[in-house]
Structure 1
Amino acid sequence: CSVCGEEVFILNSPIEDCPNRKTDQSRVINMEKHLNLLNLRPGTAKLIKREKGAEKQYNANCPSCDIQIAYRPVEGFSATPKCKFIYVRNNTVKNVREK
């Protein structure tokens, strides 16, 4: 976490190698391929207005300081057939440790 230093996830490759989402420039992490550890807690759900409609985001927060770190379009933190991605907001993490 860029605010408190809590280790919120471990990837098997640098976060800079993950693509940016065109909509909001968040990093797109494939949970099945790149995620080794996830240490987040559920945040609030929000409905975001977009050019082509609306998008529901289920926020994931730092367990220590409660800052919003990431979001998913579905509830929960497990990769599912419906969604295997988590989107990490810009400037919310630093010193990402690689495994």
Structure 2
Amino acid sequence: MPKIISNSIISSSDNREEAQGLHSYYCLCSEFILVIDIELGQLPRRETDNAVIIENASRMYKLHAIPGEVKIVRRSDEFEKQYRLYCPRCSLLIAYETTPHLKGGPYTYIVQGAINEIQGVPHNDWELELPGKQDRIDQDQGEEDSHDDNNEMRLRMEGNQDAAAKARALLAAAAGES
């Protein structure tokens, strides 16, 4: 067999400050949900509900979620139409957009604490309070039950926090047994 000689030079002049590679994220039920070119912790958060903002024009990502209901959410004196995306396995609310087509608008919003980099472990984000949560609680005490979408989101968030706490307790108990 003839000998192959190569005089190629490999050079890397890429001076990006971002970490290279892809980052995978999973639902609380361990279902694969998202692969993206940046850590979610480096992305900005929305002031209204602390959701992670993915700018569709500048980010490369694949979101594995199924479309669900369309909700109109009241934000102070405005209304926002949300096209919600759910986990295909457990139907947990994962993300939402403001246009009917995935990546069709300028942003995709990942719900606070819905996904984690470590499969099967709830994210610590569930224990962070939403912006203005105490203000909403104070307002709700003065009003009758209005059944609006803000109440629904708050109740879902609290239920998800309880589920995350139970999952942590089960993981801690399993780690203690082995």
Of all paired residues, the percent bearing the same amino acid is 25
Partner of 2:163: none
Distance in 1 (CA, whole Å) between partners of 2:106 and 2:29 is 27
The structure whose Rg is larger is 2
Select which of 69, 72, 78 maps to 1:53.
Answer: 78
Q: Is the 1:2–1:91 contact (alpha carbons within 8 Å) kept by the matching residues of 2?
A: no
Partner of 2:113: 91
Aligned AA (1:90): Q
Identify the structure with bigger relative contact order (alpha carbons < 8 Å, sequence gap 6+).
Answer: 1
SS in 2 for 1:34: coil
Distance in 2 (CA, whole Å) between partners of 1:8 and 1:35 is 14
Q: Which has the higher strand share?
A: 1
Which blocks of at least 5 consecutive residues in structure 1 are unaligned? none
Q: Is the 1:8–1:39 contact (alpha carbons within 8 Å) kept by the matching residues of 2?
A: yes
Q: How does 1:22-61 map to 2 (within 5 A)?
A: 22-61=47-86
Distance in 2 (CA, whole Å) between partners of 1:19 and 1:52 is 23
Q: Which has the higher helix share?
A: 2
Which blocks of at least 5 consecutive residues in structure 2 are unaligned? 1-25, 119-178
Normalised to the residue count of structure 2, the TM-score between the two structures is 0.49
Aligned AA (2:41): E
Matched length: 94
Q: Which runs of 4+ in 1 moved over 4 A?
A: none
Q: Cα offset for 1:63? A: 1.1
Distance in 1 (CA, whole Å) between partners of 2:66 and 2:27 is 16
SS in 2 for 1:16: helix
SS in 2 for 1:57: strand
